[in-house]
A and B are shown apart, each in its own frame.
Chain A
Amino acid sequence: MERRVVITGLGAVSPIGNSVEENLNGIKNGVCGIAEPLDEKLAGIPIKFVGEVKNLNMEEYLEKRDIRFSARFCNFARIAAKQAFADSKLTDYDFNRNESGVMISSSIGGGDTLEDSIKNDRIGPYFIPQSAIHAASAMIAMDFKIHGCNFASVSACTGGASAVGEAYLKIKYGLADVMIAGAADSALNASTINGFAAMRALYNGDDVSRASIPFDSERKGFVPGEGAAVLILEDMEQALKRGAHIYAEVVGYGSTCDAFHQTAPASDGVYSALAMEKAIRDAGIKITDIDYINAHGTGTKLNDSAECKAIKNVFREDYRHPYVSSTKSMTGHLLAAGGAIEALYSALSLEHGFIPPTINVITTDEECDINLVKGKRIEKDLRYVMSNSFGFGGQNVSLVFRKYE
């Protein structure tokens, strides 16, 4: 028997805020989290702007020793998970911890640990457990004594969306009661930024208002960001029984691969379209039921035009029916954590009835004549929201969320 899956807790740390409330205010009001880096370690990187997590007091959530011996992405993940778990109120409920799991993705994991350890000649016993991508899932399981399945879905920038999608399947098919799902990334270190810059993937200009402008005709690349988002997914029956607050329902998940190139998306958008179609089919709805698409929308030439083609492939003559926006215009690209935080933003959009804007876009690219929400949010009661995530390697993931009624 298939079960319904609902979101009962949220946690977030991002360039636009260190709580769900701050993130909600941020995406409602078009707050830009992109700025010149504050971290001195980033002096000398070949770009001017990043999406940095700012003013986060980790000691509010974690012991000093934990902070020292964990990678930054892992600390972000644990903080977001602590927020989400407290928000879900599962702390006070005796759920089946043996039949619940944790799935936290990351794209780069402890890349900063790797770089710092080598630079400072400090490769100690924490080096491996600290830099490995599974570390966040393992630490979160320890924090909440969750003994069921535990792993990281690793699939570049679709990782966070995959984590939410795979966790949803676990609950839907009765393999888990609660899943702590999401992603964390902190790839703001010289090696990773230089790597992305060498791929000519980043905006390297000097106008912050033109740095992350998805779907704009003048877009020149993405702005790397950092952060984490964690969602508590739960069997709806259990959530209702314990009187949990339900943000939204997860109803569709589609996953495909272009099988085309190590980094470039297939320009025809056929398989990213297929991911969307699969998610819509899984949700059991018509394409025109989708009210809003939280796009992958990175601000690179290739991604945005391929995504628009894919949207046109799916929606055909109705391609201007769904509103589309890219919250990366505000946060920058959080890599794997992007898919997780955009799932969280999708849930917030449904709950609060609005479409977040794509800020700083002046002229929409001719190729991108989708129904782009620019500048300011639109207040609108939404029923179905789709979130797209695509990754280097051709991974495509689409998720569909429904307003909980």
Chain B
Amino acid sequence: MYLETLKKIINEEFFVEEDKITEDSLLKDDLGIDSLASMQLILDVEKEYNIHVENEDVMSIETVADVIKLIDKKVKGEA
């Protein structure tokens, strides 16, 4: 569920074709989402799910799966 939404966000924001996006995709190397772009992605995710992501969590994201895990954790209200 999160993956489909993320695919849509990444496609709309960064023009990456949805079928190129998988859970294993590396943000930078596979999707061209560098450090600055990943901050934009997290901002979009925060708005989409009405969550707040801490600065240190942003720094540790490398794959689409990492973003999904982060959303899941925040949506479930885990610390």
A243 on the B face (CB < 8 A): no
Q: Note all chain B residues with C-beta closer than 8 A to A69.
A: 37, 40
Q: Note all chain A residues with C-beta closer than 8 A to B32.
A: 65
User: Is the CB–CB distance between A65 and B36 below 8 Å?
Assistant: no
User: Is the CB–CB distance between A125 and B40 below 8 Å?
Assistant: yes
A128-156, CB < 8 A from B: 129
Q: Note all chain B residues with C-beta closer than 8 A to A286.
A: none
Q: How large is the interface on B (under 10, 10 to 19, 20 to 34, 35 or more residues)?
A: under 10
- A129 and B37 CA atoms in complex are apart in Å by 12
Contact string, A248-261, partner B, CB cutoff 8 A, digits 1/0?
00000000000000
B68 on the A face (CB < 8 A): no
User: Is the CB–CB distance between B43 and A125 below 8 Å?
Assistant: yes
B15: contacting residue among A65, A124, A126, CB under 8 A: A65
User: Is the CB–CB distance between B39 and A124 below 8 Å?
Assistant: yes
B14 on the A face (CB < 8 A): yes
A64 on the B face (CB < 8 A): yes
Q: How large is the interface on A (under 10, 10 to 19, 20 to 34, 35 or more residues)?
A: under 10
- A129 and B36 CA atoms in complex are apart in Å by 10
Q: Which residues of B contact A (CB under 8 A)?
A: 13-15, 32, 36-37, 39-40, 43
Q: Note all chain A residues with C-beta closer than 8 A to B15.
A: 63-65, 68
Could you name 10 residue pairs across A and B whose Cβ atoms are closer than 8 Å? A63-B15, A68-B15, A69-B40, A124-B40, A125-B36, A125-B39, A125-B40, A125-B43, A126-B40, A129-B36
B15 and chain A: residue at smallest CB distance: A64
A267-283, CB < 8 A from B: none
What are the 10 closest A-B residue pairs judged by CB atoms, nearest first?
A: A125-B39, A64-B15, A124-B40, A124-B43, A125-B36, A125-B40, A65-B15, A65-B14, A126-B40, A126-B36
Q: Note all chain A residues with C-beta closer than 8 A to B37.
A: 65, 69
Q: Note all chain A residues with C-beta closer than 8 A to B43.
A: 124-125
Q: Note all chain A residues with C-beta closer than 8 A to B13.
A: 68
- A65 and B36 CA atoms in complex are apart in Å by 13
Contact string, A61-98, partner B, CB cutoff 8 A, digits 1/0?
00111001100000000000000000000000000000
Give me 11 other A-B pairs in contact (C-beta within 8 A), A69-B37, A124-B43 excluded.
A63-B15, A65-B14, A65-B15, A65-B32, A68-B15, A124-B39, A124-B40, A125-B36, A125-B43, A126-B40, A129-B36
Most buried by B among A64, A124, A129: A124
B35 and chain A: residue at smallest CB distance: A125
- A64 and B12 CA atoms in complex are apart in Å by 11
- A125 and B32 CA atoms in complex are apart in Å by 16
B43 and chain A: residue at smallest CB distance: A124
Q: Note all chain A residues with C-beta closer than 8 A to B39.
A: 124-125
Shortest CB distance A70–B (Å): 12
- A68 and B16 CA atoms in complex are apart in Å by 13
- A63 and B37 CA atoms in complex are apart in Å by 14
Q: Note all chain B residues with C-beta closer than 8 A to A124.
A: 39-40, 43
